[in-house]
Amino acid sequence: MRRLLMAGNWKMHLDLRGARQLAAGLKRELGEVLDRDVVLFPPFVLLADVVDEVENSAIEVGAQNLHPEPQGAFTGEVAAAMLASVGCRWVIVGHSERRDLFGEKDDFLNRKLRAALAAGLKPILCVGEHLEEREAGKAQAVVEGQVRACLKGLDAEAMERVTLAYEPVWAIGTGRTATPQQANEMHAMIRGLLGGMFGGAVADATRILYGGSVKPSNAKALVAEADIDGALVGGASLKVEDFVQIVRA
């Protein structure tokens, strides 16, 4: 049975004091959680402080993004090895906000994924369709294209460290959520696709998270589905009580 993973993406929120308070509150409530994984994704400038705050607990820390090159003249960017050096263990790759707002394409995300793996990080690859694509009946084709392109060239061994997150773009920050059945249908399609690409054992072992307006009121129903292995949570991860309820769903 796949171990649940609950991830909190803080996006561009909180200052140093707020981040420390949130991390300390979550450590107090979740530091001993052992039957599922909990990962926090603060902004770059808060990473080291959050790592320090959750030290000696079951909570791990990841980054929201990375650059595929190991170093160089890339002002404002952060390399995978830099993230690892401050205690990061995870990194998000291909969030829809990176795709839509910053124009990141699948081939570029493939390079990021490889860079993350080379540095020993565990990436969460995000995929998902826009509302017009779903309404046109193209949702599965869009997601399949993203999965194939972003995972191109990876082998089964590398996939042992990769997590996927299905995030329908129309449900992110909108208050709208895919029904548990809609989400599970897409997760099952992704798992079948992974089976064809990497074999059944890899497909069965890979965790696929759901993201898109996850909150305490819907988390339990979502993770109860057979192919949903946890959640990538946005706004609800910024409040201790809300995220704790989601983690314990």
Per-residue pLDDT tens for 180-190? 999 999 999 99
pLDDT of the residue at 33:
78
What proportions of the chain, in percent to the nearest 5, are helix, strand and coil? 50, 15, 35
Residue 134 makes CB contacts below 8 A (sequence gap 6+) with: 168, 170
CA count, 13 A, side-chain hemisphere, 83: 34
Residue 31 and residue 57 in contact, taking contact as beta carbons nearer than 8 Å: yes
pLDDT in tens, 106-125: 999 999 999 999 999 999 99
Q: At what angle do helices 139-150 and 180-198 cross, to 10 degrees?
A: 40
Query: Where are the chain's structural domains?
Result: 4-247
Confidence (pLDDT) at 173: 77
Calculate the alpha carbon distances from 151 to 61, 65, 112, 164 in Å. 23, 17, 11, 10
Element (H, E) at 189: helix 180-198
Share of the chain above pLDDT 90, in %: 93
Active site residue 167: yes
User: d(Cα 37, Cα 62) in Å, to the nearest integer?
Assistant: 12
Rounded to 5°, the CA angle 4-5-11 comes to: 155
Mean of the pLDDT values across residues 67-96? 98
Rounded to 5 degrees, what angle do the CA atoms 20, 23, 26 make?
A: 150
Instruction: Answer yes or no: 157 catalytic.
Output: no
The pLDDT-based confidence of 145 (bands split at 50, 70, 90) is very high
Q: Is the pLDDT of residue 175 over 90?
A: no
Which of 53, 60, 95, 225 is the catalytic position?
95
pLDDT-based confidence at 176, cuts 50/70/90?
confident
Place domain 4-247 in its CATH homologous superfamily: Aldolase class I (3.20.20.70)
Q: Catalytic residue among 53, 97, 129, 167, which?
A: 167
pLDDT band at 178 (very low <50, low <70, confident <90, very high): confident
pLDDT reading at 177 higher than 90? no
pTM, two decimal places: 0.97
Q: What is the pLDDT of residue 39?
A: 98
> What is the rounded distance in angstroms from the CA atom of residue 164 to the CA atom of residue 94?
10
| pLDDT tens, residue by residue, 33-62 | 779 999 999 999 999 999 999 999 999 999
Average pLDDT, the chain: 96
pLDDT tens readout for residues 18-32: 999 999 999 999 988
- C-alpha–C-alpha distance, residues 54 and 158, integer Å: 28
